[in-house]
Amino acid sequence: MPALLRPDWVFDDYTAVTPDFLRAQGIRLLLSDLDFTLAPKRVKDADERLRAWVESLRAAGITLVILSNNRSSVRVERYCKGLGITYVGHAGKPHRGGYLRAMEQNGETAARTAMLGDKLLTDCLGARLAGVRMLMVEPAGGARGPWQKVLHALQEPFKRVGARDTRSKDGKKTKNGAR
């Protein structure tokens, strides 16, 4: 199994990625995909759950930056404005340019940065190429449409390896958290 497609951790949902977990890993900059990671694509604005999570990161001194491949910035901009966070649009994942740009803009090193996302071939591969750790989540709202379903089915074996590693790193399964 190619190491480039192996997430470091697999979680059911972004809320399982807590400030305590990130701080324990020495992560101070969290880059995150938007669609199907923080919200289903059809959801236009951040809900209370997402707001609370973003606020908890901020309170812990962890910077959150959205890294999006969306062709139009309208959706990402609206989301980020509402949450008071920045984004790197047209990130070109899996190319590492967007990751490096986000780190440079925030004065952080790869060792203190991680990527959160739902896709192996964009989010995870890009994280590997940029030398940052990868936190994988199940697609928010579930896989929709035939293409998404096929894609997520193909990702399963890779995620199982990541999930196994997550369990061995954590020593136990966390509630609603690491699988």
CB of 66 or CB of 112, closer to Mg ion: 66
Q: Which of 36, 79, 99, 158 binds Mg ion (CB under 5 A)?
A: 36
Distance CA 92, CA 114 (A): 17
Pinpoint the alpha helices (H) of 97-174. 97-105, 125-130, 145-170
The window from 36-44, 83-91, 92-100, 103-111 that contacts Mg ion (CB under 5 A) reads: 36-44
Distance CA 68, CA 51 (A): 19
Distance CA 117, CA 124 (A): 7
* Minimum CB–partner distance for residue 17 and Mg ion (Å): 15
CB of 64 or CB of 112, closer to Mg ion: 64
The window from 33-41, 69-77, 126-134, 143-151 that contacts Mg ion (CB under 5 A) reads: 33-41
CA-to-CA separations, 115 to 22, 42, 133, 171, in angstroms, rounded: 11, 22, 6, 22
Q: Which of 14, 30, 33, 158 binds Mg ion (CB under 5 A)?
A: 33
The window from 31-39, 75-83, 108-116, 144-152 that contacts Mg ion (CB under 5 A) reads: 31-39
* Minimum CB–partner distance for residue 174 and Mg ion (Å): 23
Size of the site for Mg ion (CB under 5 A): 5
- The residues in 96-125 that bind Mg ion, with binding defined as CB under 5 A, are 118
C-alpha dihedral sign at 30, 31, 37, 42: positive
Distance CA 28, CA 40 (A): 26
The residue ranges that bind Mg ion (CB under 5 A) are: 33, 35-37, 118
